[in-house]
Amino acid sequence: MLAGEPSTLGTRELPNSIAVLGGGRRSLATSLWLLGRGRHVVTVSEGRMGADTSGLAARAFLSRIEGAGGSLLSAAVRRVQDSGAVIVNDGVEKLVSCDAIVVADPVRSAIPEWLDLLEIPDKIIGDARDPRGIGPAIAEGRDVMRSVG
């Protein structure tokens, strides 16, 4: 799902600062794609990043994301607010400021309960109950990003 300020959705430009929530290959591929378009990206995962792919593929994703200037955070998302995502790590809350949020968690099939509380547009990308390969996942994410841009 993609959520962002209404003023950034529906324009031709992608938001400048994006938080990607989830650490699976879809999240990592989305982060890398956004970084390739010059966006500031922070990827947040409560679990091990790349756990749904091979160790070699995960290391390649993580290395490329960091090499492109992306940030990788191991933390749980507590809530989402207008200014970004509030994460918690070792009991300490921290705000990850961003213009848009991508929720791309292949492990959880349920829509996060806080999403209904937001009064901003969202887009569903894929479904954890119907998994597919990385190629179609990247293509679907790319198509959605283009449709909101």
Q: What is the pLDDT of residues 74-104, one digit of tens each?
A: 998 888 888 888 999 899 999 999 988 888 7
- 3 pLDDT above the threshold of 50: no
Burial of 149 (0-12, 13-18, 19+ CB in 10 A): middle
The total of other beta-carbon atoms located within 10 Å of residue 93's CB is 11
What is the per-residue pLDDT across 4-28, written as a single tens digit (0 to 9) for each?
A: 444 443 445 778 999 998 898 888 9
Query: pLDDT per residue over 26-35, tens digit each?
Result: 889 989 989 9
Strand-pair partners of 100: 4, 18
In this structure, which amino acid lies at residue 143?
D
What 3-state DSSP class applies to 120? coil
Q: Does domain 2-148 have CATH number 3.50.50.60?
A: yes
| Cα dihedral 105, 111, 112, 114 in deg (nearest 10) | 140
At CA 71, angle to CA 101 and CA 75, rounded to 5?
70
Name the DSSP letter for residue 58. H
Q: What is the model's pLDDT at position 4?
A: 44
> Which amino acid is located at 64 in the chain?
R
User: Alpha-carbon Rg of the chain, whole angstroms?
Assistant: 14
pLDDT of residue 142 exceeding 90, the answer is no
pLDDT score at 121: 54
- Tell me the domain boundaries of the chain: 2-148
